[in-house]
Amino acid sequence: MAESFEQAATELAALRKQINGWRDEYYTRDAPSVTDAEYDQKYRRLEELEAQFPELVTSDSPTQLVGDAVLPDFGKVEHPVPMLSMGDVFSLEELGGWIDHLNADAERDLEYNVELKIDGLSLALEYTDGKLVRASTRGNGRIGEDVTANVRQIADVPQTLPAPLTIEVRGECYMPKAAFAALNKQREADGETTFANPRNAAAGSLRQLDAQITKKRQLATFIYTLMDPASFGVTTQKEAIAYMASLGFATNPSSQALSNLTEIDEYITKYTADRDALSYGIDGIVLKVNDLHLQEELGATVKVPRWEIAYKFPPEESATVVRDIEWTVGRTGVVTPTAVMDPVQLAGTTVSRATLHNPDFIAAKDIRIGDTVDLHKAGDIIPEVARVVLSKRPADSVPYVAPTNCPSCTAKLVHIEDEVALRCINPLCPAQVQEQLTHFASRPAMNIDGLGPKIIAQLQAKHLVADVADLYTLTADDLAQLDKFKEKSINNLLHSIAGSRDNSLERLLTGLGIRHVGAKAAAVLAEHFGDIDTLMAADEETVAAVDGVGPIIARTLTQYLARPETRELIEQLRASGVNLRYNGQVAPVATDSPVSGKTVVITGKFAEWSRSDLTNRLKELGAKVTGSVSKKTDLLIAGTDAGSKLTKAQNLGTQIMTESELQTNLFGDSPKS
């Protein structure tokens, strides 16, 4: 309790400033700097003070706000029924008190639908006549962001319902744990800031201006709220979930209708123990009054519904001591720090190492050798330092100084603009070469069986390989120098290397490890351009116009292919007999249609065609279908809600064709025939 009105006013002002700053990091920038537990502790203190001094409550207090600002790059969506936050409790005693209070108000023991609290961001989906017409985020509760284009890229969101219903449902968009781990691994390798947890990764992925980026992020949903349930004959929350599942929505199967604290405690105990084994992140349990009519009667405060509550899991943390900080060099030259610590148990596993991400992370938390630190698992997956325990810092502690030279080759490390990582830019750095060779030989790339990191390390140590082209000059005598390599091992590896010469171009592009060019983009590029020489001759604008590629991949790809050392490497591979062409089957195309050889862009919605069907049909007619409008675009096919691509085409004077004109001029009168 505060000692005086003046002290309370001072503390409240400081808390509001601090918490609103954290809210901006969490909701707007998707980059929180503190754990949920730290936020919750300060937020509860704010609530206590405002309850003690209600005259000090202000409209800008976090207790009066829902979500955060709507980003200006997205269209605004007004929610007719506000999307509110949830109240929360942090112990079984508090939860029991909330249940007793609600039961007393209702003058009977109520039934509660108990659900997992998914660690994601709120999402609303609207359908008209069974068709998805709009998707939006919660935003500030009243106004959200229009993210329809991005949500169409989420695999488990139905585009069409099995019945022509006009309906709105709400739920959570989340990133599965495996996708979160893979995304952060890739971002760290690229020298980019990693996401703090799956929730922020999901938010950052859904609030993208490029829907293709959202598509790559492997987002998923759980839908749990049916708006206007009476119109569909639904009377309970349990029934609502079953009804939405019957319409094809992804719903979480774990919910149970329970009526007493003993049963609810058993549910909480089960999922507290099982949460690490789930493929998605949860940060608590949600109780909702099961009777939907009673929900409506109970209503809501300015911020939270009175009929639901979230029980938040206590933070699982372990304290340990940092004994060393090791730096490793990745394939792209990014130098990453790792804390080496005394082993501790955390979330069911023994942990002795934790990523420190980059020098900024170390500096922001002021992590030093010898510090005692609290560890937690980001998204229940990745061990991470939550904070330094300053009270246990040794008296002779000194700030940690990041290295200035590469730990592998001693070259000067650099900070590249807009990156948080330190990077070694020496192309002959042994650590980078080893990572590059390992990636080149991996299954998604050139698939050279038997060529793993240990063999590559031996080849490097004996100066037999310096880059990927050297693999194709290896002889039996070379391999005989390796430990435990006898005739059979030698023949098997030489045979595998020889077989990789015939791989299709997309495998080579994947194996070269070009930044942002993964297996999928490589396949698109190989099929589109056909061979490496055509691809190297293409400019950035031409590459960016390829459907599914975009400006980011185009920029890094063309820069990589323009480097003299890259062109020399390609020539070495050519001389070694490595195939540089696309080997896949390309469907035969017409040469006498009006769009043969033309560059065509598709935009908007179509009554008779899916986007993929329309793309395939145009390709069959000889068109080159790309994703963005440029001066090289010959034709724009515009459906309804065409947007900025139509505007740009009009400004450029590009030929524009509607769906009906498309049917008449190109396809005749039989859609999809």
In order, the DSSP letters of 235-293 are -BHHHHHHHHHHTT----TT-EEE-SHHHHHHHHHHHHHHGGGSSS-EEEEEEEESBHH
- Which CATH code for domain 430-500? 1.10.150.20
- What pLDDT was estimated at residue 341? 95
Kindly report, residue by residue over 501-527, the tens digit of the pLDDT: 999 999 999 999 888 888 888 999 999
- What pLDDT was estimated at residue 670? 44
- Which CATH code for domain 5-64? 1.10.287.610
- What pLDDT was estimated at residue 348? 66
Contacts of 118 (CB under 8 A, 6+ apart): 172, 174, 222, 252, 280, 281, 282
Least confident of 175-179, 242-246, 314-318, 526-530: 314-318
- What pLDDT was estimated at residue 673? 38
The pLDDT confidence band at residue 285, using thresholds 50, 70 and 90, is very high
Q: Give, for 174, the enclosing helix (H) or strand (E).
A: strand 167-174
* Token output for 457: 């390390």
The pLDDT confidence band at residue 574, using thresholds 50, 70 and 90, is very high
Contacts of 553 (CB under 8 A, 6+ apart): 516, 517, 521, 543, 544
The pLDDT confidence band at residue 187, using thresholds 50, 70 and 90, is confident
The pLDDT confidence band at residue 532, using thresholds 50, 70 and 90, is very high
- What pLDDT was estimated at residue 20? 81
Of 17, 117, 238, 454, which is the active-site residue?
117
The rounded Cα 214 to chain-centroid distance in angstroms is 7
**CA–CA separation, 425 vs 446, rounded Å?**
25
More reliable by pLDDT, 673 or 249? 249
Mean per-residue pLDDT of the chain: 87
Do 430-500 and 505-575 have matching folds? yes
May I ask the CATH class of domain 599-667?
A: alpha beta
- What pLDDT was estimated at residue 418? 73
More reliable by pLDDT, 126 or 181? 126
More reliable by pLDDT, 456 or 484? 456
- What pLDDT was estimated at residue 342? 95
Angle at 518 between CA 515 and CA 520, to 5 degrees: 145
DSSP annotation of 55 reads G
- The most confident of the ranges 311-320, 486-495, 653-662 is 486-495
Kindly report, residue by residue over 583-618, the tens digit of the pLDDT: 986 555 566 778 888 888 888 888 777 776 787 778
- What pLDDT was estimated at residue 558? 93
The answer to whether the beta carbons of residues 312 and 101 sit under 8 Å apart is no
**CA–CA separation, 160 vs 162, rounded Å?**
7
The pLDDT confidence band at residue 243, using thresholds 50, 70 and 90, is very high
pLDDT surpasses 80 at 191: no
Least confident of 204-208, 268-272, 415-419, 505-509: 415-419
pLDDT surpasses 50 at 380: yes
- Per-domain residue ranges of the chain: 5-64, 76-182+193-312, 318-404, 430-500, 505-575, 599-667
pLDDT surpasses 80 at 366: yes
631 is catalytic: no
Kindly report, residue by residue over 123-163, the tens digit of the pLDDT: 999 999 999 999 999 988 889 999 998 999 899 999 999 99
Residue with tokens 């509660």: 112
The pLDDT confidence band at residue 230, using thresholds 50, 70 and 90, is very high
pLDDT surpasses 50 at 248: yes
The CATH superfamily holding the domain 505-575 is 5' to 3' exonuclease, C-terminal subdomain (1.10.150.20)
What is 318-404's CATH number, 3.40.50.720, 3.90.1150.10, 2.40.50.140, 3.40.190.10? 2.40.50.140
Dihedral (Cα; 101, 105, 110, 115), 10-degree rounding: -50
Cα–Cα nearest to 38, from 304, 376, 280, 360: 376
- What pLDDT was estimated at residue 604? 83
3-state secondary structure of 649: helix
End-to-end CA distance of the chain: 75
The pLDDT confidence band at residue 671, using thresholds 50, 70 and 90, is very low
Residues β-bridged to residue 160: 131
Going by CATH, does the domain composed of 76-182+193-312 fall within 3.30.470.30?
Answer: yes
- What pLDDT was estimated at residue 669? 47
pLDDT surpasses 60 at 441: yes
Burial class from Cβ neighbours inside 10 Å (0-12, 13-18, 19+) for residue 549 reads buried
Least confident of 138-147, 214-223, 401-410, 591-600: 591-600
